[in-house]
Amino acid sequence: MNVLTMLVAWLGLGHEETDDPETLMRRKVMRLAWPAVVQGLLMTSIQVIDTFLVSLMSDDALAAVGTASQLIFVMFVVLIAIEIGASVLVAQAVGAEDRETAGAVARQSITLGMMLAIPVSLLGYALRHQLIGVFGLEPNVADLGVEYWSVVSLAIFIVMLVFVLSGILQGSGDTATPMWGTAVATVVNTFFAYVLIFGKWGFPELGVGGSAWGSVIGWSAQVVFLLVMIGRGSRPFDFFSRSGWWPSWETTRGVVRVGGPTAIEDLAISTGLAVHTGIVAVLGTASLAAHRIVFNALNLSFMPGFGLAIAATALVGQSVGARDPASGRLATKICAQYAVLWMGSMGLIYFALAGPIAGVFTSDADVRSIGASSMQALALSQAFWGMLFVFSGTLRGTGKSLYPAIVNSIMIWAAVGLGYALVRGGGYGLASTWLAYLPVAGVTVYFLWRRVRTEPLLDEQLEGARNLSLLLEPDLVPVGGEQGPSIVDAEHEEREPVGAGIRD
């Protein structure tokens, strides 16, 4: 076997017949991870295309849409709780080969999402002037921002459907369908944004409103595509049913228990990065422009890590449901290896080609110099970020999402605090704020790795155990068939069968 063949096999790209568990797991990881990476790239491309089209109108329009988009990201943080909770619970049910529970969780998660999204949507519309006014924009820009937000805010429930349907599919082991759904949204959004912004081919010229309607129509097309695809082919859950849509207390509690901490974590990270930008602002316009360049590089380099985290969550969740700790540990190991490889490689590229990469975004010598040194500082922590994503995804797959939420939230704010000290106390520049993530990310990875190593649901001493659900957090909804394991208290007194409440 030559080196190339060995590399192909190690990456899980071979197609020869095999019964080797590690090879099969590598194939599963790659099959789940690469569509998630492409989906992330497509989502980024939608933002880039919208930004470009709006920029052709005016600087005021660009500022207005950019500001209103920040409100959309806040809404995304709220909706991600349902997405993550549904994904993990579906994964555990699929691992237990319990179609009924998996389908019930999927249906009830949709209802939960609608119950959350509709009030948020109506409130966002009712407070549209106040929300945009928080940013202190010039009157003309604020009016354009309100025009954009008035359309988008009423479509938050559509975005919720995109999130939850994607989470359900990813939890069941299908990341390809959400990827293709995002591809559909990209094409549809680009077409309608263009014709509605500029009034082409008989469509009305709506300006900033056209950009908003392009997004709404794109999201709607994505929802239709996902619903059609869920109904096609063989799925490990039954989704389309007349019954089982009203959320049971067990499903609600499980979704909130798993997804709630992740939503809070995302909010902590988003606000931390916003504060990071505020710290950079005092360094001057050149540093702020360079900071934007580094952020673009960061978003791109994170894509492999995000994809592998999704794979880890799905595969570990399924291993928990199947009461197969060995598969969960193997999936974690392989995802971590790939994350270090891909994100470490991105770090090497950024470090070696920082100058030319920064030069793509600016012709200003100062901005290019600051951006290049900052990108090199960012490059040093890439491998740590990769492991951080995977270990967090693993713990979410077991249902223990609170610990990574706490650790990662502390991490981001510790790095921001260290960056602030370096800028304000030490007189250092932008690069120091990105270098601050290196030691903090390293410590964070250690704590997450230690928690994964000691996680009872992945304990090698429990191979073949018949009742891994005993180890689930007390308030978390376990999953399994009617004949599966039971929930018991500390004294091992029998309670209700696993999943019984979910199917109500």
Q: Are residues 392 and 292 in the same domain?
A: yes
| Residues 109-154 pLDDT 10s | 999 888 888 888 888 888 888 877 776 767 887 888 888 888 888 8
Has residue 16 got a pLDDT over 80?
A: no
Mean pLDDT score, 156-172 = 90
Q: What is the per-residue pLDDT for 37?
A: 85
Cβ partners under 8 Å of residue 114, min gap 6? 157, 160
Q: Are residues 241 and 275 in the same domain?
A: no
3 state SS for 273-298: HHHHHHHHHCCCHHHHHHHHHHHHHH
Does residue 481 form part of some domain?
A: no
Q: How many helical (H) and strand (E) elements, i.e. helices and strands, does the chain have?
A: 18, 2
Q: Are residues 233 and 278 in the same domain?
A: no
Q: What is the per-residue pLDDT for 466?
A: 46
| Residue 290 vs residue 353, higher pLDDT | 353
| Residue 452 vs residue 280, higher pLDDT | 452
Is residue 286 within 8 Å of 367, Cβ to Cβ?
A: yes
Has residue 205 got a pLDDT over 90?
A: no
Q: What is the per-residue pLDDT for 408?
A: 92
Confidence of residue 446 (pLDDT cuts 50, 70, 90): very high
State the pTM of this model. Answer: 0.80
Does residue 350 come out as left (phi exceeding 0), alpha (psi in the -120 to 50 range) or beta?
alpha
Q: Are residues 70 and 164 in the same domain?
A: yes
CA 177 – CA 185 distance, rounded (Å)? 12
Does residue 410 form part of some domain?
A: yes
Domain housing 266: 261-464
Is residue 409 within 8 Å of 384, Cβ to Cβ?
A: no
Has residue 428 got a pLDDT over 60?
A: yes
Number of domains in the chain: 2
Mean pLDDT score, 399-420 = 91
Has residue 12 got a pLDDT over 80?
A: no
Closest CA to 26 of 243, 335, 463: 335
Q: What is the per-residue pLDDT for 302?
A: 84
Has residue 356 got a pLDDT over 70?
A: yes
Confidence of residue 344 (pLDDT cuts 50, 70, 90): very high
Q: Are residues 240 and 377 in the same domain?
A: no
Q: Are residues 344 and 225 in the same domain?
A: no
The sign of the torsion formed by the CA atoms of 274, 276, 281, 287 equals negative
Q: Are residues 157 and 291 in the same domain?
A: no
Does residue 29 form part of some domain?
A: yes
| Residues 266-325 pLDDT 10s | 888 878 877 887 788 788 878 877 877 787 778 788 888 888 998 999 899 888 888 888
Name the least confident of 73-77, 122-126, 383-387. Answer: 73-77
Closest CA to 101 of 488, 489, 487, 478: 478
